């Protein structure tokens, strides 16, 4: 009497080989487990009676399919958490609609004799000077903020130029020069804008700021 021996050495490996041409996630966890158990039973039925599998081999293969199942469930849970987190961020961000915020930018609006802006300092500086410029790039006024600690610093300009004249209302740009012990500090100019609405793009919550466009929530430096 002949004995048929089927060479199925690792059911999990066989499942992986069948799934290889397919896109990631094409085989659901339940399908993978079902195929695994069918292949394992087939292997046990057709194994070489002179060289049967031992308990360690079976236990190892069971552990492998359990690991695959566990990872898949973990990924599903993390994806669900990410969606919930994004939704929560969007709801929180709606509370900022109508408020003014500071984000990276170098423009400022002069209205009613006041223009506001900000600076982000990565470290303390013993000298911070803001240069206000017109549309042609001409420096109209310099605001000396003196020494400042690291962090976000806001400032305002009353619209009076260095010549003593009053600038016309409108849009102006500004640059920042910060020094510490004779060394330049890489300060970031911050523009003030009003939050008009909230949106999501590529899983990121964005604030749509008047005059600046969409800015990621994480890039907002201060709410005024």
Report the mean per-residue pLDDT for the chain.
79
Q: How large is the average pLDDT for residues 68-93?
A: 65
Q: Does residue 96 have a pLDDT over 50?
A: yes
Domain ranges of the chain: 11-94, 97-223
Of the candidates 184, 187, 163, 165, the one whose C-alpha atom is nearest the C-alpha of residue 174 is 187
The domain defined by 97-223 carries CATH number 1.10.8.60: no
Quote the tokens at residue 2: 């002949």
Quote the tokens at residue 223: 């709410």
Q: Does residue 128 have a pLDDT over 90?
A: yes
Q: Does residue 18 have a pLDDT over 60?
A: no
Q: How large is the average pLDDT for residues 17-26?
A: 46
- CB count, 10 Å around CB of 128? 23
Q: How confident is the model at residue 39 (pLDDT cuts 50, 70, 90)?
A: confident
């Amino acid at each position: 009497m002949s004995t048929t021996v089927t060479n199925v050495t690792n059911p999990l490996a066989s499942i992986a080989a069948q799934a290889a041409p397919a896109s990631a996630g094409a085989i659901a966890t339940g399908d993978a487990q079902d195929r695994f158990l069918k292949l394992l039973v087939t292997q046990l039925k057709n194994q070489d009676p002179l060289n049967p599998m031992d308990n360690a081999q079976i236990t190892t293969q069971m552990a492998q399919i359990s690991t695959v199942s566990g990872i898949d469930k973990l990924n599903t849970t993390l994806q669900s958490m990410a969606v919930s987190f994004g939704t929560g961020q969007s709801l929180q961000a709606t509370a900022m609609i109508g408020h003014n915020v500071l984000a990276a930018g170098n423009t400022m609006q002069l209205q009613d004799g006041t223009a506001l802006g900000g600076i982000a300092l990565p470290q303390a500086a013993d000298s911070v000077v803001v240069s206000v410029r017109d549309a042609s790039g001409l420096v109209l006024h310099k605001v000396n903020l003196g020494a400042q600690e690291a962090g976000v610093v806001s400032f305002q300009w009353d619209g009076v130029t260095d010549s003593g004249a009053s600038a016309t209302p409108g849009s102006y740009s500004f640059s920042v020069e910060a020094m510490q012990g004779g060394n330049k500090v890489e300060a970031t100019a911050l523009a003030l804008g009003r939050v008009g609405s909230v949106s999501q793009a590529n899983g990121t919550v964005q604030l749509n700021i008047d005059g600046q466009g969409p800015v990621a929530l994480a890039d907002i430096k201060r709410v005024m």
